[in-house]
Amino acid sequence: MAAWQVALQLSAGDQPLFRQIVDAIAVDIARGRLGVGGKLMSSRALASQLGVSRNTVVAAYEELCAQGWIAMEPTRGAFVVGVPGTTRGYPDAAGFDLPAPIPMTLPAPRREGMLLLLGGVPELRGLPYRQLARAYRSALSGPSARRLLDYAHPQGNLELRTALAAMLASLRGLAAPVESITVVRGSQHGLYLAGRSLLRPGDVVAVEALGYRPGWKALELAGATLVPVAVDRDGLDVAALEALATTTPVRAVYLTPHHQYPSTVTLSPERRARLLALAEARRMIVLEDDYDHDFHYEGRPVLPLAAGDRAGVVVYFGTLSKSLAPGLRLGYVVATPAVAQQLAGYRTAFDGQGDHAVERAVAMLLEDGEVQRHVRSALKAYRTRRDALCAALRQRLPQLELEVPAGGMALWARAPGIDTDAWERRGRDHGVVMQAGSRFTFDGTPNEYVRLGFSSCSEGELEEAVARLVRALP
């Protein structure tokens, strides 16, 4: 790695300059700022930085060498040696009281040979890498390159918002203007923005009793009080939500109506209509997380709640993490222009804007049809993998109770009589990662369910993953 020119701060005092330089460098070595093996600036460069004669710096280096802090090598320069037992490094503990820590969610282990049965993890091997790289180069070499690297609009790149508006109108029945679309760093970022800008501390938010914990955490960090509402084969129990709203001032409801997370069921038409009517009557915010809309395999397309919203109560969250790649960190929020302004106003206070260069590159892929082609290819592959996983489970683990999901990137199966938490732990030891049902309950209560993703593994890998699950049974 190329070295930086280290800014050296001399102490004030009456000591000779060369002694001040010796002390400053020794202190920086002792506290780890100048690491062992690192090269010091040349005597000429340091003299120029400090405004002293070169002979002064040479004298300081000779003294440091004599004390054992550095070593001088002919033609190569001065290098840090350090003195054993003196390096303190950066402080390893805060000197002030910390609030309760927020648990950090780390990515699933990706060690060699590990098979990931995680829902929502897309297939990255088929990503159009060359096209993405070409689009990124084009964005940064075109006439708008300087604009893309400057401060820009907090709602996101205009070309990407325009492309998203066309996609939403065509595929999801959402005729939203670009003023209603805010590009964010993933749907969870959008949910946090919405929580901070639309909710007040203590506001009650109803959530699905089985659901997405990171989304719940984003709302809790915004100060919301979460109340679980039951989920069944028809999705969120809207009657139960209505009963809750008669006794509690429910400010918002957060749900995944297209493919309920994690059970994959779709909110029934009757409940969809009832929910929108309830939200309109009570001025309740509907936070609709449509995290994997592109991947629906059976039956007619199901449009978002937002497509039927005539009262402006739905705030819609989508993502490109599933259809492209999570590392791009691209999602979007669709709401009325006034709500979009609220989001943008809050965002400018702490985040400013997204990565407009990446956003423009992805806009080019949408404009050229590359994203559409990739999604069609992934849809076909995921359907085949879904069927392969279901077939393997029915053959090797017939005790599991499962239904073939109509959409999504995972299936939800009941494992009667099996300690699913222990099964998850043992699975990791056998080289396969899946998720026990306790990861999705509101209070972490164990249950007899498991969530098994199929999108990121080939058919052969899915068969091997099931074989490992069999060996891992507790």
DSSP letters spanning 247-267:
HS-EEEEEE--SS-TTT-PPP
The beta strand positions in 30-82, using DSSP E, are 70-73, 77-80
Determine the Cα–Cα distance for residues 372 and 180; give it in Å rounded to an integer: 23
Q: Which of 323, 340, 364 is nearest to 183 (CA)?
A: 340
Is residue 183 over pLDDT 90? yes
Q: Which residues contact 441 (CB under 8 A, 6 or more apart)?
A: 209, 210, 447
Determine the Cα–Cα distance for residues 41 and 45; give it in Å rounded to an integer: 6
* Cα within 13 Å of Cα(433), Cβ side: 15
Is residue 272 over pLDDT 60? yes
Tens digits of residue pLDDT in 35-56: 888 888 888 888 888 888 999 9
Q: Between 288 and 110, name the one with better pLDDT.
A: 288
What is the predicted pLDDT for the residue at 24? 87
Q: How many CB atoms lie within 10 A of CB 95?
A: 5
Which residue ranges does the chain devote to CATH 3.90.1150.10? 115-122+373-472
Q: What is the dihedral of CA 386, 388, 392, 395, to 10 degrees?
A: 100
Q: Which of 172, 187, 171 is nearest to 304 (CA)?
A: 172
Residue recorded with tokens 């026990």: 436
What is the predicted pLDDT for the residue at 343? 94
Q: Binning pLDDT at 50, 70 and 90, where does residue 2 land?
A: low
What is the predicted pLDDT for the residue at 88? 56
129-367 has CATH 3.40.640.10 classification: yes
What is the predicted pLDDT for the residue at 4? 61
Q: Which of 89, 80, 24 is nearest to 52 (CA)?
A: 24
Which residue ranges does the chain devote to CATH 3.40.640.10? 129-367
Is residue 85 over pLDDT 70? no
Q: How would you class 201 by CB atoms within 10 Å of its CB: exposed for 0-12, middle for 13-18, buried for 19 or more? A: exposed
Assign domain 17-80 to its CATH architecture: Orthogonal Bundle (1.10)
Which residue ranges does the chain devote to CATH 1.10.10.10? 17-80
Report yes or no: 453 and 117 within 8 Å, Cβ to Cβ. Answer: yes
When pLDDT is averaged across residues 408-429 and rounded to a whole number, the result is 96
Lowest mean pLDDT among 86-100, 172-186, 199-213: 86-100
Q: Which of 400, 389, 411, 441 is nearest to 264 (CA)?
A: 411
Lowest mean pLDDT among 5-14, 151-160, 197-206, 234-243: 5-14
The dotted CATH code for 115-122+373-472 is 3.90.1150.10
